[in-house]
Structure 1
Amino acid sequence: MKVLLLEDDELVASLIEAVLTGLAADIHVHHAATLTAARHIWQRQGADLVLCDWNLPDGYGLDLVRTIRQSSEHTPVIIVSASSDRDNVKRALHLGVIDFIAKPFDVSTLHQRLLPVFERINAAELSDSPSLPLLDYWLEQALGAKLQLPGELGAETITPLLNQPAPLTPTELAARWKNETALVTRLLQLANNISLKRSGNAISRPADAISILGVAMSLNCAMAMALNSARGLSHPVLKQQAALYQAHAEQVAAIARAMALSIELDGASCHAAGLLCRCGELALLRTLQDYLDQGGKIDDHKIEDILKRWGPRYGNRLKIQWQLPIPLRELIGAVHVPPTQTTRKALLVMHLAGLRVSSRLHGPEAERLLRRAGLNPDKWLNKA
Structure 2
Amino acid sequence: MHVLVVEDDPSMQELLASLLKGIDSQVHIYRADTVAAGINFWRKHPIGLVLCDLNLPNQESGLTLVKTIREKNAKLPIVMITGSGDRATVKSSLQHRVNEFIVKPFEPASVMERLQRYFDNDKTTPDHAPKCGKSLESFISDVDAVLARLTLLPGAEAALQTLNRDDKPSALDLAQQWQNDSAITTRLIWLANSSLMRRSGRALTTLREAISAVGVDMALSQVLALSLANKNQLRQTKLQALSEVYAEQTQKLAESAALLAKQLRVSVANCYTAGLMVRLGELATLEAIQLYLDSGGEATDEEIESAVQKHAAHYGNRLKFKWRLPIELRERIGATYATTQGEVKPELLLMRLAACLSSNANHTAEQEKLCSRLGIKIQELPPG
Q: Which TM-score tier does this pair reach, normalised by the shorter chain? A: 0.5 to 0.7
What is the distance in 1 between the residues matched to 2:233 and 2:304?
A: 20
Q: 2:178 & 2:379 partners in 1: Cα distance? A: 45
Residues 71 and 4 of structure 1: CA distance in aligned 2, closer, same or farther (over 3 Å): farther
DSSP-derived class of the 1:336 partner: coil
User: After superposition, what is the alpha-carbon deviation per residue over 1:23-80, rounded to whole angstroms, capped at 9, x for unaligned?
Assistant: 5446252514xxxxx6x98699968647241699869765775566556544544332
CA apart distance, 1:142: 4.3
Rounded to whole Å, the distance in 1 between the matches of 2:323 and 2:119 is: 26
Q: In 1, distance between residues paired with 2:57 and 2:239?
A: 43
Aligned to 1:353: 354
Write the letter of the residue equivalent to 1:143.
L
Aligned to 1:214: 175
State the distance in 1 between where 2:263 and 2:377 align: 10
Q: 2:215 maps to what in 1?
A: none
Q: 1:28 to 1:54 in 2, by over 3 A?
A: closer
Deviation by residue 1:173-208 (Cα, 9 ceiling, x = unmatched): xxxxxxxxxxxx94x6445545656x356xxxxxx9
> Is residue 101 from structure 1 mapped to residue 102 from structure 2 by the alignment?
yes
Name the counterpart of 1:255.
256
Distance 2:162 2:254 in 1: 26
Q: Counterpart in 2 of 1:274? A: 275
Deviation of 1:239 after TM superposition, in Å, equals: 5.4
Q: Using the TM superposition, name which of 244-253 and 93-102 deviates more.
A: 244-253
Distance 1:375 1:56, change over 3 A: closer
C-alpha distance in 2 between matches for 1:222 and 1:215: 15
Show the counterpart of 1:27.
30
Three-state SS of the structure 2 residue aligned to 1:78 is strand
CA distance in 2: counterparts of 1:280 and 1:248, whole angstroms: 14
Q: Residues 41-56 of structure 1: matches in 2 within 5 Å?
A: 49=50, 51-53=52-54
Separation in structure 2 between the aligned mates of residue 234 and residue 68 of structure 1, nearest angstrom: 28
Paired position in structure 2 for 1:375: 376
Question: How far, CA to CA, are the matches of 2:158 and 2:252 in structure 1?
Answer: 26
Q: Secondary structure at 2:336's aligned position in 1?
A: helix
Moved more, 280-289 or 100-109: 280-289
Contact 1:15 1:221 in 2 (8 A): no
CA distance in 1, matches of 2:251, 2:41: 43
Q: Aligned letter for 1:362?
A: T
Amino acid at match of 2:301: D
Give 1:214 shift. Answer: 1.4
Tell me the secondary structure at the aligned position of residue 32 of structure 2: strand
Query: Structure 1 pair 373/102, CA: closer, same or farther in 2 (3 Å)?
Result: same
Residue 29 of structure 1 aligns to which amino acid in structure 2? A
Match of 2:195 in 1: none
Sort the Cα spacing of 1:2 and 1:301 in 2 relative to 1 into closer, same or farther, 3 A: closer
1:298 is aligned to: 299
Conserved 8 A contact 2:55-2:62: yes
1:362 equivalent in structure 2: 364
Superposed CA offset, 1:323-362 (max 9, x none): 6554333322221242588221101110122123333963
Deviation per residue, 1:111-163 (Å, 9 max, x gap): 66556547766x34656431144223443454331234xxxxxxxxxxxxxxx
**Structure 1 length-normalised TM:** 0.62
Aligned residue for 1:327? Answer: 328
Per-residue deviation at 1:269? 2.9
Distance (whole Å) between structure 1 residues aligned to residue 157 and residue 349 of structure 2:
25
Distance 2:295 2:138 in 1: 14
CA RMSD in angstroms comes to 4.8
Other structure's SS at 1:214 match: helix
Q: Does 1:129 align with 2:129?
A: yes
| AA of the residue aligned to 2:147 | L
- The 1:256–1:64 alpha-carbon spacing in structure 2 relative to 1, beyond 3 Å, is closer
Change (3 A) 1:27 1:299: same
Task: Quote the Cα distance in structure 2 between the aligned partners of 1:44 and 1:245.
Answer: 27
Q: Secondary structure at the match of 1:27?
A: strand
Count of aligned pairs: 323
Whether contact under 8 Å (1:370, 1:377) holds in the other structure is yes
TM-score when scaled to structure 2?
0.62
Q: Which residue of 1 aligns with 2:151?
A: 146
Where do 5+ consecutive residues of structure 2 fail to align?
A: 21-26, 185-222
Amino acid aligned to 1:27: Y
Matched residue, 2:213: none
- The verdict on how the C-alpha distance between 1:137 and 1:117 changes in structure 2, with shifts beyond 3 A counting, is farther
**CA spacing shift, 1:90–1:311, aligned 2, 3 Å:** same
Give, in whole Å, the separation in 2 of the partners of 1:114 and 1:339.
Answer: 55
Range 208-217 or range 125-134, more displaced: 208-217
* In structure 2, C-alpha distance between the alignment counterparts of 1:361 and 1:238, rounded to whole Å: 33
Distance 1:302 1:221, change over 3 A: same
* Residues 321 and 345 of structure 1: CA distance in aligned 2, closer, same or farther (over 3 Å): same
Q: 2:308 maps to which residue?
A: 307
Instruction: Tell me if the contact between 2:260 and 2:382 (Cα under 8 Å) persists in the aligned partners.
Output: no
| Cα-to-partner distance string for 1:182-238 (whole Å, 9 max, x where unaligned) | xxx94x6445545656x356xxxxxx9966521661652737989x89467763x55
